[in-house]
Amino acid sequence: MLPFTEEEIDLIAQYCTTASIKKGQMLLREGDICRGYTFVVSGCFRMYAVDEKGKEHNISFAAENEWIADIGSFYSEKPSTLNIKALESSSVIQIEQKDLYHLYENITKLNRVFKVMVENKYVELQRHLVQNFSSTAQTRYLSFLEQYPKIKDRLSNAQIASYLGITPEFLSKVRKDIMLEETGKA
C-alpha cells in the first residue's frame, strides 16, 4: 500500500464521514443508488441479492479494515440490484462519489489505491463465481475459510451456506466430512 503524508491524510479526513451502524441496519437497499464507499472500522457486513422467489444469495462479506460498496451502482449512478446489511453493530468511515473524485484529482496515489482495491475485489468475485460453477462444496467451503478467516465464526451457518450456494444442512455434512478426513477416520 502506498504511504500517505500527514497532509494527504488530513485532506482525506476532511471528505470522509464516520457513522455507527446498528446490527441489522441496511447500508444499501436494492433499488437505491450506492452513493459511497464504506470502510469497516469495526463490525461485519454482508452484500447480497434477493431472487424472484425471495431467496437471499450472499455475494461477499466485509469486516474490519475492508471496504464494501456496490461498485457498479456507485460508478454508474444507477439503482443497485444488491443489498448491504450490518451483521453486527459497526463503526464505519464513508466517502461519497463526488468527494472521492475530488480526492483522486488532489491525491493521485489515492486513485491507484482504489484501483488496486477494486481489481482485488474483482479477482475475488471471479474466483468465487468460477468455484460455484466448477468446484465441489467442500472445495468452496475450504476456499471460504481461507478467504474469510477472521469472520468465519461470526457468520451463521445459513449465511455461509448461502455464500457457497448450498443448504445449511449440506454445509453441516461438508464440515463433518472435513473433520473426519482431518482425524483420519474418513
**Domain layout of the chain by residue ranges:** 6-107
Is 133's pLDDT higher than 80? yes
pTM comes to 0.87
| Nearest partner of 70 among 88, 46, 91, 99, judged by Cα | 46
pLDDT, tens digit, 9 for 90 and up, residues 9-39 = 999 999 999 999 999 999 999 999 999 999 9
Is 1's pLDDT higher than 60?
no
**Listed range (62-66, 69-73, 79-83, 113-117) with the worst mean pLDDT:** 113-117
Which residue, among 121, 114, 16, 120, has the nearest Cα to 61 in the 3D structure?
Answer: 121
Three-state SS letters, 15-52: HCEEEEECCCCEEECCCCCCCEEEEEEECEEEEEEECC
6-107 fold: Jelly Rolls (2.60.120)
Three-state DSSP class for residue 141: helix
- Average pLDDT estimate for 123-131: 86
Residue 135 neighbours by CB under 8 Å, 6+ apart:
143
Q: Does the structure show a pLDDT above 80 at 184? A: no
Structure confidence at residue 172 as a pLDDT band (50, 70, 90): very high
Q: Which three cell numbers stand for residue 76?
A: 454508474
pLDDT over 70, % of the chain: 98
In the chain, beta strands by DSSP E = 17-21, 26-28, 36-42, 44-50, 56-63, 67-68, 83-86, 90-96
